[in-house]
Structure 1
Amino acid sequence: MTDSTVRIDITDLPAVVQQFLTALDTRDTSAVAGILTPQASLTDEGHTHTGVPSITDWIANAASEFTYTTTPVAAERTSTNQFTLIQHLEGDFPGGSADLNYRFTLEGALISSLVIAP
């Protein structure tokens, strides 16, 4: 944690972050499209997807060949518009489990950036 990082309760994450996570779990691309800035970016596994169409395509296809569950572990506010959620994944993907950081940057009530990384 940096000096400006504050641990928060997972339920205290902004509503738009919680909406994104729900939409990701259900692969609801319409819901995701409504909570992104037009030029939003999402980086996962070293690949960056920019713009709503590219991100919704990623949502529709991300890890579709695997079955997994996610468990929120911790949340942090790293600045007034940046939040990190640490999630534990378990499933039939290579390695079987992983802890991932979901680093969100907000612009108003929308998501402008998300980086998913270990």
Structure 2
Amino acid sequence: MNLPKVIEDLVNAQNSFDSVSYANCFSENAVVFDEGKTHNGRPEILDWIEESNQKYKSVMKPLECAENGTGIVLSAECSGTFPGSPITLQFHFDIADGYIQSLKVTG
């Protein structure tokens, strides 16, 4: 499967629990929507992914990637230390200038 480089970098960072590399996939002003919360800017995104990595130890296995209007939707099997693991989630990305501008995670 051909993933855009920044999404491939994000998946690799997630699967190695590298929170700094994960956060660096996002623009300075990026926004993440996950579990009913909004995280604004790279510092908040770093805090969010660090907490998530410690809490869930989640890894991603990409299943499908498709363009959806102006964005990209990645379906991935996510497994970790959370109830119901593994689950398939959709990651809705808006990308510009090689960085993720927004990410919305849905079930």
Matched, 1:40 2:48: no
Aligned mates of 1:93, 1:112 — CA distance in 2: 27
Q: Which has the higher helix share?
A: 2
* Post-superposition CA distance 1:62-116 (Å, at most 9, x none): 152334443221111113x511110112344112331100111001211100111
TM-score (norm 2): 0.85
Aligned mates of 2:95, 2:35 — CA distance in 1: 21
Which shows bigger deviation, 48-57 or 89-98? 89-98
What is the SS of the residue equivalent to 2:30? strand
Question: What is the aligned counterpart of 2:77 among 83, 88, 91?
Answer: 88
Report the RMSD for the aligned CA atoms in angstroms. Answer: 1.8
CA contact (8 A) 1:100 1:116 kept: yes
TM-score (norm 1): 0.78
CA contact (8 A) 1:13 1:83 kept: no
CA contact (8 A) 1:39 1:112 kept: yes
Aligned equivalent of 2:106: 117
Aligned mates of 1:94, 1:117 — CA distance in 2: 16
Give aligned pairs, total: 107
Matched, 1:50 2:40: yes
Contiguous gaps of at least 5 residues in structure 2: none
Letter aligned with residue 87 of structure 1 = A
The 5 Å alignment of 1:11-26 reads 12-26=2-16
Query: Do the aligned partners of residues 101 and 36 (structure 1) sit closer, same or farther apart at CA in structure 2, a change above 3 Å counting?
Result: same
